[in-house]
Amino acid sequence: MDGKKKNSVLVVDDEVAGIMALMHILRPEYTVYAAKNGQDAIEAAAEHMPDVILLDILMPEMNGYEVIAALKNSDKTRAIPVIFVTGLDNAEDEAKGLVLGAADYISKPFSSAIVKLRVQNQIKILNYIAMIENFSLIDQLTGMPNRRSFDERLRLEWGRSLRSGAPLSILIFDLDNFKSYNDTYGHIQGDTVLQAVAEIFKLELKRSVDFIGRWGGEEFIALLPGIDCNEAWILAEQIRTCIENAVIPLTNGQATKITVSIGVHSHVPRSLDLITDFIQCADKALYTAKRDGRNRICRYDG
């Protein structure tokens, strides 16, 4: 025994057999908690703060979708990755879960190997986030990962998509006319804008696997594993609208507003593809959005 604390998992299922099966698979490696209904799951998550939650969708009184919505609406439990364990197998059900912030899916009937791998993947991401914090790869102004952190995360996700064949999407954001804003209101107020926008990003990107960081200056960058271009566009529009509608106060009590231009690109990596090309495609889309009037989204169409 090296005394290292085990990672923990919360299993949520209204059927005892389902709980017992998952506990049998996970107990050798993890501390496992269990809940038989949605309300108990929410309370257990807040009490134990597990590293990962395995959540059944079809439960009486409070289904899995309602549970994850409650978890993501809580500051305390928002960041805990949730893996749905479900017999539902159509694309609409999976898309609904992803929109609500699910990190992954395990289909019933499940195998021990798949359960272990899905949980291990989320633990690896958590460990990676801890490594970022430990090595100070954080932008001090916004509290977000910086460009160096993005480069390392991109290499990780690029390799994962290369192996799995899943799409990888990227969003590059540029605050419109930010230099003029700074010239008008001062750099301290400019910093306030960057911090306000950073908070919007953190709220809108709900999945634990999503990455958002400060690219430099007034530019931010997001990486969305397993998301295709249409889904990335929808998320980009949500963020664009939130920033456009945000009211950013001045020290004298007056209010200011700002908008953002967004470049979107999605790609399934192949062995000869270059990561630099992947970024450049999104950057070209961003340039088009700015050229065509700003406060808009453009995707790279090749």
Q: Which of 60-64, 71-75, 129-133 has the lowest mean pLDDT?
A: 129-133
152 in catalytic set: no
Residue 2 has pLDDT above 60, yes or no: no
CA distance 138 to 289: 28
The H or E element that residue 18 is part of is helix 16-26
What are the structural domains of the chain? Answer: 8-130 (3.40.50.2300), 138-299 (3.30.70.270)
* 299 phi and psi angles, rounded to 5 deg: -110, 155
Task: Tell me the per-residue pLDDT of 147-163, one tens digit each, with 9 for 90 and over.
Answer: 989 999 999 999 999 99
Residue 86 has pLDDT above 90, yes or no: no
**Cα–Cα distances in Å, from 185 out to 113, 129, 242, 248, 254?**
57, 35, 22, 12, 11
Name residue 211's beta-bridge partners. Answer: 223
Give the chain's mean pLDDT: 92
Q: List, as own/partner pairs, every contact residues 14-22 make where C-beta atoms lie below 8 angstroms and the sequence separation is at least 24, other chains included.
A: 14/56, 14/59, 14/60, 15/56, 18/56, 18/85, 22/54, 22/85, 22/115
Half-sphere exposure at residue 41, Cβ-oriented, CA atoms within 13 angstroms: 31
Identify the active-site residue in 15, 29, 204, 218. 218
Residue 165 is given by DSSP the state -
Residue 98 pLDDT level (bands cut at 50, 70, 90): confident
Q: Which pTM was predicted?
A: 0.65
Q: Which of 5-9, 114-118, 126-130, 134-138 has the lowest mean pLDDT?
A: 134-138
Owner of token pair 């978890």 = 71
Q: Which of 97-101, 155-159, 195-199 has the lowest mean pLDDT?
A: 97-101
CA distance 64 to 69: 9
Residue 1 has pLDDT above 60, yes or no: no
Q: What is the mean pLDDT of residues 215-222?
A: 95
